[in-house]
Homo-oligomer: A and B are copies of this chain.
Amino acid sequence: MAVKLDYNNMIDKVVGSEGFSLEDILTLDIRTAHEKMEQKRKDNLTDWRDLPYNQKDVVKEIKDYVSAVKEDIDAFVVLGIGGSALGPIALQQAINHPYYNELPKDKRGGYPKLYVLDNVDPERLSYFFEIVDIKKCLFNCVSKSGETSETMSQFMIIKSLLEKELGKGNISKHIVCTTDKEKGNLINIAKEGGYKVFYIPSGVGGRFSELSPVGLLPAAMCGIDIKKLLTGAEDMDKIVSNPDVQKNPAYMYGALHYLAMEKGKNISVMMPYADSLKYISDWYAQLWAESLGKKYDNEGNTVFVGQTPVKALGVTDQHSQIQLYVQGPLDKVIVFLSIDEFRRIVEIPKIYEDIPSLGFLGGITQNKLLKTEEYATEYALVSNGRPNMTISLEKVDEYNMGALLYMLEVATGFIGELMNIDAYDQHGVEEGKDATYALLNRPGYDEKREQLRKTYQKDSMYTIG
Q: Is the CB of A286 within 8 A of B357?
A: no
Instruction: Tell whether A54 is near chain B: CB-to-CB under 8 Å.
Output: no
A276 — which chain B residues lie within 8 A by C-beta? 121, 123
Closest residue on chain B to residue A295 by CB atoms:
B327
Q: Is the CB of A369 within 8 A of B440?
A: yes
* Cα-based distance from A126 to B275 in the complex (angstroms): 12
A252 — which chain B residues lie within 8 A by C-beta? 464
Q: Given A246-B464, A432-B318, does the pair A344, B290 have CB atoms closer than 8 Å?
A: no
A122: contacting residue among B120, B128, B342, CB under 8 A = B342
A121: contacting residue among B97, B348, B370, CB under 8 A = B370
Q: Is the CB of B6 within 8 A of A319?
A: no
Chain copies in complex? 2
Q: Given A130-B99, A308-B332, A443-B356, does the pair A120, B428 have CB atoms closer than 8 Å?
A: no
Q: Is the CB of A463 within 8 A of B384?
A: no
Q: Is the CB of A97 within 8 A of B127?
A: yes
Q: Is the CB of B324 within 8 A of A289?
A: yes
Closest residue on chain B to residue A99 by CB atoms:
B131
Instruction: Tell whether A124 is near chain B: CB-to-CB under 8 Å.
Output: yes
Binary contact track A252-285/B, C-beta < 8 Å → 1, others 0: 1000000000000011000000111000001001
Closest residue on chain B to residue A148 by CB atoms:
B319
* Cα-based distance from A330 to B302 in the complex (angstroms): 12
Of A29-37, A170-178, A360-368, the stretch lying at the interface with chain B is: A360-368
Closest 7 CB pairs of A and B: A293-B324, A82-B319, A306-B328, A4-B465, A293-B328, A376-B435, A327-B428
